[in-house]
Amino acid sequence: MHDIIKKVMDFAEGEHLLVSGDRILLSCSAGKDSMAMLHIMAGLRDILDIELGIFHLNHLMRGEASDLDEKFLGERARFYNIPCITERFDFKNRRDTGASFEEQARTVRYALARETAGRCHYTKIATAHSKNDNAETLMMRILSGTGIHGLQGIHASRDMIIRPLLALSSEDIVHYLEENGLPWRDDDSNTDNGYLRNHMRNVILPVIRERYPSFLDSLHAMSRLAGEQIRLTDRLIDEKYGQLIERDDEGVTLSAYKIDGDRVLFNHVLSSLIRLHAGPYVNSGMLNEIWKKYNTGKSHMILHETGDVRMRKLPGVAGKLIRLEKAGQPSYLSQEWIYPVQIDETNIRTLKIPEAGIEVEIFFSDFNYFTKNRLDKNHIFVTISSDDTTFYIRNRRKGDRIHLGSGTKKIKELFIEKKLDNESKNCVPLLIFGAHIAAVMTGFTTGFQNRVSIDHMINNGSNKILVIRKM
């Protein structure tokens, strides 16, 4: 067995990434890391008794080169006899102005990969992150100001995502590819240092490597030690304070009164809790806000809120409690959420939007169905172009506008006219085609009438009528 394959196997075993019977969806580009992961995992499928599939997202950002990447990956899939599922998302014409391209691409890629995994019954999604990717992430977090939780770097597993190549460096991967004569395709955008990660990879880290050749191993060791330190601290807290957290189907409750005399301890426990139940992003500003509100005289109030979690202070029976409610509760703050949807003219699709507290059906209708249901607030009807293959549903962004009969109007102004509070504003789904808002689904969450852009209104000549119906 090749040393690299054994290294991956040992890492996967130590991190409990793979078990017999797993169906793994490999999220692949056409680049070096992905091609190494594909070859290694193909070599392990019989040894570990796993099944493999490939997921590829064509960003359509590099013209013919993007299509050649897609074609190349399809050829490699056939070579390994692995099914390949490709999705396309036109980021040039569907840019989300509220996020960087890197952020939007990551959000869409993971969303579509999860959707594909669920639809095709894969148990896990594997990405090709390497030791170098972990170093880049750590350095960006350090330079942005992170605490000990952020020093853990990229996790080997989180939910259904696994990263079996985290024990390999980029040099390991290139050597493995060359030794086995494996092809790959280079992405020219990786040389564009306008992207934050590329700048870290191509400019900053080479300077560090020149002076500190073993910095990759040093950062890897630091992230491992940070994780060990967090686990040790948590164990000592449990031993001294006993059970601080009670879980139920809707969320978790923290007996904050047991630890609120020590702010450092309070911050550590709360930070761990937020990361575990609401995602990885915690910062000092968030913790300061929670601490300040917690120590006011009010016994019941919202301490903090994002699209992932609502944190409330409760009086409780024994003392002050902090309640973190289940992900998907409505949000008072402007945490962004987005759901990409591939257009399917032959089937009815369903989509859950927990941030808005709704589930919708997506299908096509004729003009008679439109005429019968056009005034129903639980229906949105839009006419679309035959060229449209994808749309997405998201909440508001700064500067959003919709084209109405009287001209363009800010979404912000529409919401102010209806006197919506912040919670309601951030729950209203917007239907997006390209860079344009096709509809504001106010009726789905607030009871007010829905608004459709004049560019997407139905008329007698509409050939394709897309329907979104609240269930």
Tens-digit pLDDT profile for residues 230-247: 999 999 999 999 888 887
Most confident of 39-43, 136-140, 337-341, 346-350: 39-43
pLDDT of 161 reads: 93
Please state whether 159 falls in left (phi above 0), alpha (psi between -120 and 50) or beta.
Answer: left
Write out the E strands in 251-387.
251-254, 301-305, 310-314, 321-325, 338-342, 349-353, 358-365, 379-383
Top pLDDT among 159 and 4 is at 4
What mean pLDDT do residues 10-24 have?
A: 93
Give the CA-trace dihedral at 365, 366, 368, 374, to 10 degrees.
40
What is the structure's pLDDT at 188? 80
Q: What is the dihedral of CA 245, 246, 247, 250, to 10 degrees?
A: -100
Give me the pLDDT at residue 99, please: 60
What pLDDT is attached to residue 69?
A: 92
Task: Work out the average pLDDT over 54-71.
Answer: 88
Beta strands 310-314 and 321-325, pairing class:
antiparallel
Residue 150: its pLDDT value, please?
85
Question: Poorest-confidence range of 171-175, 287-291, 322-326?
Answer: 322-326
What pLDDT band is residue 278 in, cutting at 50, 70 and 90?
A: low
Q: List 87's β-bridge partners, or say none.
A: 57
The residue that leads in pLDDT, 394 or 426, is 394
Categorize the per-residue pLDDT at 144 as very low, low, confident or very high, splitting at 50, 70 and 90: confident
The pLDDT of residue 333:
36
Tell me the pTM: 0.63
* For helices 170-179 and 32-48, angle between their N-to-C axes, nearest 10 degrees: 70
Q: How confident is the model at residue 334 (pLDDT cuts 50, 70, 90)?
A: very low
> For 63-120, what is each residue's pLDDT tens digit?
888 899 999 999 999 999 999 999 888 776 776 655 667 777 787 888 889 999 999 9
- Taking 60 as the threshold, does the pLDDT of residue 329 lie above it? no
Distance CA 403, CA 405 (A): 7
With b meaning 16 or more CB within 10 Å and e meaning fewer, what string describes 23-47? ebbbbbbbbbbbbbbbbbbbbbeee
Q: Which of 89, 88, 87, 74 is nearest to 38 (CA)?
A: 74
Q: Which of 438, 442, 425 is nearest to 467 (CA)?
A: 438
Q: Which of 56, 184, 46, 73 is nearest to 127 (CA)?
A: 56
Residue 299 scores a pLDDT above 70: no
Which range (325-339, 365-379, 434-448) has the least confidence? 325-339
* pLDDT at 328 (0 to 100): 46
Q: How confident is the model at residue 339 (pLDDT cuts 50, 70, 90)?
A: confident
Q: Is the per-residue pLDDT at 435 higher than 80?
A: no
Summarize the confidence of residues 349-362 as an average pLDDT.
Answer: 82
Orientation of helix 263-278 relative to helix 284-294, angle to 10°? 120
What DSSP string runs through 222-282? HHHHHHHHHHHHHHHHHHHH---EEEETTEEEE-GGGTTT-HHHHHHHHHHHHHHHH-S--
Q: Which of 2-11, 372-381, 387-396 has the highest mean pLDDT?
A: 2-11
Closest-CA residue to 267 (of 283, 253, 251, 243): 283
Backbone phi, then psi, for 338, in 5-degree steps? -155, 140
Q: Which of 73-82, 209-218, 366-375 has the lowest mean pLDDT?
A: 366-375
pLDDT at 301: 72
Query: How many residues can be counted in the chain?
Result: 471
The pLDDT > 90 percentage for the chain reads 34
Q: How far is CA 429 from CA 360, 396, 397, 424, 456, in A?
A: 11, 8, 11, 10, 16
More confident residue, 196 or 315: 196
**82-96, 250-264, 371-385: segment of lowest average pLDDT:** 82-96
For residue 162, CA distances in Å to 15, 77, 128 come to 10, 20, 9
pLDDT given for residue 323 in this prediction = 79
Question: What is the predicted pLDDT for the residue at 425?
Answer: 82
Confidence class for position 331, pLDDT limits 50, 70, 90: very low
For residue 153, the one-letter residue type is: G
- Rounded mean pLDDT, 50-70: 90
- Which pLDDT score is estimated for 40? 96
pLDDT, averaged across the chain: 85
How many angstroms separate the CA atoms of 261 and 258, rounded?
8
Helix (H, G, I), strand (E, B) or coil at 41: helix
Q: Which domains does the chain carry?
A: 3-218 (3.40.50.620), 244-325 (3.30.465), 338-470 (no CATH)
